[in-house]
């Protein structure tokens, strides 16, 4: 089950396997291993096999695309018609979506059956996948460790090969950080390249969907399906279609890698630093050169993010009131009491914390002092990247400051939890593309990720940079013991 998407597609094209057979194999793996990992919230064998049978029929009729019949899992933040779409929250535990998100419809059009909906931090708020109403996800490399968040279920499922690939979303690092902590490849595209329609909103100016898979080559194929203009999303960018796999084979001679001095100071664990330096040495052997750059406002990215993201969340989550859909408190005196009890019972502690922070910074007397100032600094952070890319083609550094931490280690200390995303948040604030690829293991034998940041719309170049490294190394092919 360690086959790439390309290899699975070849098996189907050559008639050596059917989509139904592939899906049955993955569903059996999910049945065996998910009770231990808790990577999936919803699995519907009958629905998945029906979609697989449709894919086989399309292939038999000569109507198949490249990935028709190859299964995929979806983060439970994407609305999928007929599937429960919970966002990892009690508030939506009984919600069955009546429509498809744009991303889901794109994969349906490509003929890729859905293996299930993956676990996640509640409303994508978390860095460890411990805030889910459905329980924490376990890291396949070490069940005592977190897989990262908020796309931790998708990351764990891919790392354990319970699915060949999955969708995720990234608001402040929620694709890249779990990809790093579980030893897989994850890409956050340029803001607006993948439609947010039907993707349940956390922070609308930061949220972006993207692919999670073992390799960069896999992510390129998934981007060819996911990306595209959608008129239903006002932030979707109308651009000509592109082949994200077009540059994979290009050599790296002459590539300029920017190393921000702010990424390589205090805070990075020694074993992470060692793995990152070894990866950079490999890039130099492949013909790249490294140059020092600076992102002087990066240290402000975490406080800026935790003003802006909660502000947008407090607005987006106001729709969950128990009136139209989702959870409703069983007993209440009047409408106001129903609102209060429904939201008190339906939301978890982290979601409540962020709603309260967001409401505070948007309130009269604090809007100018906090929200407006944060937006000004956000512009400075974006400008820092513009200046840095004048001297380099891509920026590299660690994805996370440490390997995966133990379950429960940071639950009682939100600030320490928030610092898990210290290297990833600035990318979202600037709207840039970023990705994480596996580059080794720490002293605790847990995976380490190398972050690659590109200029706007440089996804194909980043995938090329990642792919060439993966051709020269084998980190992305390694599997957790027993899986």
Q: Point out the catalytic residue in the list 4, 18, 19, 75.
A: 75
Q: Taking Cα atoms as reference points, which of 215, 247, 244 lies closest to residue 7?
A: 215
Q: Taking Cα atoms as reference points, which of 96, 101, 94, 93 lies closest to residue 82?
A: 96
Answer for the pair 42, 84: CB distance below 8 angstroms, yes or no: yes
DSSP labels, 135-200: -PPPBTTBTTB---SSSHHHHHHHHTTSSS-EEEE-SSSTTHHHHHHHT-EEEEPPTTSS--TTB-
pLDDT at residue 482 in the model: 84
Q: Cα–Cα distance between 153 and 172 in angstroms, integer?
A: 17
Answer for the pair 74, 58: CB distance below 8 angstroms, yes or no: no
Supply φ then ψ for residue 311, to 5 degrees: -60, -45
Q: Is the pTM of this model over 0.95?
A: yes
pLDDT at residue 265 in the model: 84
pLDDT at residue 367 in the model: 94
pLDDT at residue 266 in the model: 84
Q: Taking Cα atoms as reference points, which of 159, 161, 165, 77 lies closest to residue 119?
A: 77
Burial track 369-396 (b if 16+ CB lie within 10 A, e otherwise): ebbeebeebbeebbebbeebbeebbbbb
In the block, tokens 């380099």 appear at: 392
150 is catalytic: yes
Q: Both ends of the chain: CA-CA distance in Å?
A: 9
174 is catalytic: yes
Which are the contacts of 248, defined by CB distance < 8 A and separation ≥ 6? 216, 217, 220, 463, 464, 467, 468
Which are the contacts of 358, defined by CB distance < 8 A and separation ≥ 6? 309, 310, 311, 312, 313, 314, 315
Supply φ then ψ for residue 96, to 5 degrees: -110, 120
pLDDT at residue 102 in the model: 98
Low-confidence ranges of the chain (pLDDT < 70): none
Q: Cα–Cα distance between 142 and 208 in angstroms, integer?
A: 28
Residue 133: C-alpha distances to residues 90, 116, 346, 348, 427 (Å): 6, 17, 9, 7, 28
16 is catalytic: no
Q: Point out the catalytic residue in the list 18, 127, 132, 174.
A: 174
pLDDT at residue 1 in the model: 73
- Mean of pLDDT over the chain: 97
pLDDT at residue 182 in the model: 98
* DSSP secondary structure code for residue 392 in this structure: -
Q: Point out the catalytic residue in the list 4, 97, 132, 150.
A: 150
pLDDT at residue 105 in the model: 98
Domains along the sequence of the chain with CATH: 5-251+468-477 (3.90.1300.10), 299-377 (no CATH)
Task: For Cα atoms 157, 481, 120, give the angle at the middle one, nearest 5 degrees.
Answer: 20
């Amino acid at each position: 089950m360690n086959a790439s998407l390309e290899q699975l597609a070849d098996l189907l094209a050559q008639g050596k396997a059917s989509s139904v057979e592939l899906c049955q194999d993955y569903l059996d793996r999910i049945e065996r291993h998910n009770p231990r990992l808790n990577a999936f919230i919803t699995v519907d064998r009958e629905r998945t096999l029906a979609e697989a049978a449709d894919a086989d029929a399309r292939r038999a009729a000569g109507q198949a695309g490249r990935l028709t019949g190859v299964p995929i899992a979806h983060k439970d933040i994407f609305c999928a018609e007929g599937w429960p779409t919970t966002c990892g929250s009690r508030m939506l535990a009984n919600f069955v979506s009546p429509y498809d998100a744009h991303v889901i419809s794109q994969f349906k059009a490509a003929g890729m059956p859905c293996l299930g909906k993956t676990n996640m931090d509640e409303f994508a708020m978390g860095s460890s996948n411990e805030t889910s109403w459905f329980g924490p996800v376990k890291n396949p490399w070490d069940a005592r460790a977190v897989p990262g968040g908020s796309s931790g279920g998708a990351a764990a499922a891919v790392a354990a090969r319970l699915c060949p690939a999955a969708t995720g979303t990234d608001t402040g690092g929620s694709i890249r950080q779990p990809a790093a902590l579980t030893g897989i490849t994850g890409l956050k595209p340029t803001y607006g390249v993948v439609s947010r329609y039907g993707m349940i909103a956390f922070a609308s100016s930061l949220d972006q969907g993207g692919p999670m898979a073992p390799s960069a080559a896999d992510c390129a194929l998934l981007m060819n399906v996911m990306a595209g203009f959608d008129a239903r999303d006002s932030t979707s960018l109308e651009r000509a279609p592109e082949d994200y796999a077009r540059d994979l084979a290009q050599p790296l001679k002459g590539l300029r890698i920017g190393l921000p001095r702010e990424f390589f100071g205090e805070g990075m664990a020694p074993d992470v630093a060692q793995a990152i330096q070894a990866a950079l040495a490999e890039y130099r052997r492949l013909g790249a050169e490294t140059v020092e750059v600076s992102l002087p406002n990066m240290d402000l990215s975490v406080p800026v993010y935790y003003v802006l993201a909660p502000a947008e969340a407090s607005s987006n989550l106001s729709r969950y009131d128990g009136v139209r859909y989702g959870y409703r408190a069983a007993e209440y005196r009047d409408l106001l009491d129903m609102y209060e009890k429904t939201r008190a019972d339906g939301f978890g502690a982290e979601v409540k914390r962020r709603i309260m922070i967001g409401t505070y910074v948007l309130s009269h007397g604090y809007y100018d002092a906090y929200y407006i100032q944060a937006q000004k600094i956000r512009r400075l952070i974006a400008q820092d990247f513009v200046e840095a890319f004048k001297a380099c083609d891509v920026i590299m550094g660690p994805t996370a400051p440490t390997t995966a931490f133990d379950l429960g280690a940071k639950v009682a200390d939100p600030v320490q939890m928030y610092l898990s995303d210290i290297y990833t948040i600035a990318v979202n604030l600037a709207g840039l593309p970023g990705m994480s690829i596996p580059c080794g293991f720490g002293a605790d034998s847990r995976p380490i990720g190398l972050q690659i940041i590109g200029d706007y719309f440089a996804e194909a170049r980043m995938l090329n940079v990642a792919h060439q490294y993966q051709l020269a190394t084998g980190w992305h092919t390694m599997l957790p013991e027993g899986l």
